[in-house]
Structure 1
Amino acid sequence: MTPTTDDASAPLVRDHGGGVHSLRVPIPDNPLGHTLVHLLDTGRGPVLVDTGWDDPTAWDTLSAGLAACGTSVAEIHGVVITHHHPDHHGLSGRVREASGAWIAMHAADATVVRRTREAEPRLWLDYLAGKLERAGAPEAHIAPLRAARAAGGSGGLPGLRPALPDREIVPGELLDLAGRRLRAVWTPGHTPGHVCLHLEETHPAGRTGNGRLFSGDHLLPGITPHIGLYEDPDDTTMTDPLGDYLDSLERVGRLAPAEVLPAHQHSFTGAAERVRELLAHHEQRLAGLLALLAEPLTPWQVAERMEWNRPWEQIPYGSRTIAVSEAESHLRRLVKLGRAEVTAGGEPARYVAV
């Protein structure tokens, strides 16, 4: 996801009308600044769409935001998670402990959560080190992971003990929310189980369109979500996250909501236009990669040459790992389209245009 500068002057809570509020919950040490946690009034009590990062300041901010809305963590009836990432699912466990609320998530992301909880940190460190080695990363980049593995640490990996959900979000079905019509729309790409949530109710301000859409990270007004490889140490399936994302974008565009309520930045209108912009962006990016592949390149070499929001030399360590995963997802898409192939010759893998 391309970083953005947070607007510190924006209010903590915004009333979107019709029993919907957004709360700006901070993300520690992250240029995204905050997660927009949405609060939805229902006939059985307030429900949260996402919860924010598991951090003391984030918890205090969430609590203060709920108080400003006339409720509290203890009164939360349920938590609906758009996807498993720690800036969305991180505080879910604490909310459930304080309120007894249920937590709902798509089965594909629930599988990720279960696997993450069951695996030892060293398994993830070994997996990431091997993945980067196969991608052609220099030893200097892999060394910190090997060192953390040897020391028995986690290497700073976040969200290794996420809360297990107790309800499944079923695509196409209405969630069991008294007095509300909230339908799940499966939008894989950013994660395998990412969902958007379509509030099939008349817009409170009478805007033209089909209700409102809680879009998570799938559809954002001014930045593009990170589309990397789906991480699973035990799965050797050649997934196509970028292809999944592009298909999901078109699905959301057809909904034509009157307003989009994303998990970052701000609410916006013109969903179909934004979808067209993102489809064009990725097509241009694929064309640029294809030009790079006039010669065989490793995913690391491709990432070094891709256009980011800053020069490669200025991209920090963790973001470089994410960038390589995004490069690999684009390379897999080119292979699936028959526009590139993996060369013979073992590891690290090298891709070339055909």
Structure 2
Amino acid sequence: MKRIQLGNTVFEGENDAYLIEADRTTLVDTAVAVPSARADLREGLSEHGVEFADVDAVVLTHWHPDHAGLAGEIQAAGDATVYVHEADAPLVDGRERPFAMDPAAQRETFDRWGLPTDARERLTTFFEREGTDIYGREADVTPIVDGETIDLGGVELEAVHLPGHTAGLCAFAFDPRTVPGHDPVRGGDRAGEDPPAEAFTGDALLPRYTPNVGGADVRVEEPLAAYAGSLVRIVERDWDAAHPGHRERIDEPSRRAAEILDHHRDRTRRVLDVLESGPATAWEVSAELFGDLEEIHTLHGPGEAFAHLDHLERAGVLERDGTAYRLLDPDPIVADLFPTTALDAASR
């Protein structure tokens, strides 16, 4: 297995694509469909004697263009099979328009979040500047579901559905001993332990940032609850290593997932602190949490605030009047609003 790191100045940067040279030459995630990223991917593949036309399978962790943008182009070059979870499939095969290309969805969402005119104009300008080309060519996809196994010929990838960042985000778990050219984080079986297991986690788990929830895919119902459940699932799977969609390998993915879950508990407390001063919209809470925002973060900031406000409203801690939220319970037990894991219990 080879990691190919890609330049990307649009989103989180330092995208990762992974080449698996099994019986079926496979690429896990691609790149945003811009010339520089395309060149990076071509160069990274060529270092291993692989061209787009040689790829037999493209496995997508989720629909975002910095991961799926070149899937259709690679498929057109060599008839690769493109796998993606059924919830994200319509955004890869063109049956649905992404949020950046859907003015009606934008208006409804911005109204709900209370975005002022200048913020809307900044986002519209950003979407127009980046254009539609970043989403790349539509692909003929093979939808997958949780628990399904993709057979690459000697290597099997198990789809593990981890919604939150997007509706259909999947990790793909595998036995590292079966992957040609890959050194497992730990070697063969240890007495009394399960066999080694690793996973490609896309943006469900990142080493330096907390993946955005709420703004990254506005289709997700109860985004914070969905993502908290996904983090618990990562902890329970207890993989030896995670190979994320951005930056370096994560050697203790369960611990990292527990850290992110705790981060969201802390952020919930900060949201409650903001509302102690009076009712506020998602945009106003975002301003208190993140300050001034630019480009895609003008979407992600209020989306994240909305995810927390929505979570608190559903728990009966807040009530919404129009676009503003006000406290009903000024002193909730925040820990009770989130699931717990074995690592949480061990740290207490």
TM-score (norm 2): 0.82
Contact between 1:121 and 1:160, CA under 8 Å: does it hold in 2?
A: no
Against the structure 1 CA distance between its residues 64 and 165, is the aligned structure 2 distance closer, same or farther, given a 3 Å change threshold?
same
Q: CA RMSD in A?
A: 2.6
- Tell me how far apart the structure 2 counterparts of residues 40 and 164 of structure 1 sit (CA, whole Å): 20
Aligned counterpart, 2:297: 319
Is residue 2:2 matched to residue 1:24?
Answer: no
Query: Where does structure 2 lack aligned partners over 5 or more consecutive residues?
Result: 188-194, 330-348
Please tell me whether residue 248 in structure 1 is matched to residue 230 in structure 2.
yes
* Mapped contact 1:133–1:142 kept (Cα < 8 A): no
* Structure 1: gaps (5+ residues): 1-19, 233-237
Q: Deviations over 1:113-153 (max 9, x none)?
A: 45x655599971232133213322222223467799xxxx9
Q: Which amino acid aligns with 1:287?
A: R
**Conserved in 2, the CA contact under 8 Å of 1:298 and 1:351?**
no
Alignment of 1:237-276 (within 5 A): 239-276=221-258
Equivalents in 2 of 1:283, 1:321: separation in Å?
22
Aligned residue in 2 for 1:6? none
1:34 to partner: Cα distance? 2.2
- Report the counterpart of residue 152 of structure 2 in structure 1: 177
1:298 and 2:284 equivalent? no
Out of 13, 32, 35, the residue aligned to residue 53 of structure 1 is: 32
Separation (CA, whole Å) in 2 of partners of 1:275 and 1:121: 27
The structural deviation recorded for 1:29 is 4.3
Q: 2:196 maps to which residue?
A: 210
Secondary structure at the counterpart of residue 201 of structure 2: strand
Equivalent in the alignment of 2:311: 333
1:83-114 superposed Cα distances (whole Å, 9 cap, x missing partner)? 00000000111111111111110000113445
CA offsets per residue over residues 144-175 of structure 1, 9 Å max, x none? Answer: 67799xxxx95645555652342122211211
Task: Return closer, same or farther for 1:320/1:176 CA change in 2, 3 Å cut-off.
Answer: same
Quick check: 1:135–1:298 contact (8 Å CA) kept in 2? yes
Could you tell me how far apart the structure 1 residues matched to 2:248 and 2:295 are?
A: 28
Distance 1:29 1:136, change over 3 A: closer
Letter in 1 for 2:218: E
Tell me, in whole angstroms, the C-alpha distance in 1 between the residues paired with 2:185 and 2:270: 42
The SS at the match of 2:18 is strand
Aligned counterpart, 2:192: none
Aligned residues: 315
For residues 276-332 of structure 1, give each alpha carbon's deviation from its aligned partner in whole angstroms, at most 9, with x where no partner exists: 1111100111111112222111111110111x3xxx23x214312221111111111
- Judged with a 3 Å threshold, the aligned counterparts in structure 2 of structure 1 residues 134 and 96 are, in CA distance, closer, same or farther, namely same
Distance 2:240 2:97 in 1: 42
* Structure 1 length-normalised TM: 0.81
Conserved 8 A contact 1:188-1:194: yes
**Structure 2 residue aligned with 1:277:** 259
On the 8 A contact 1:183/1:200 being kept in 2, the answer is no
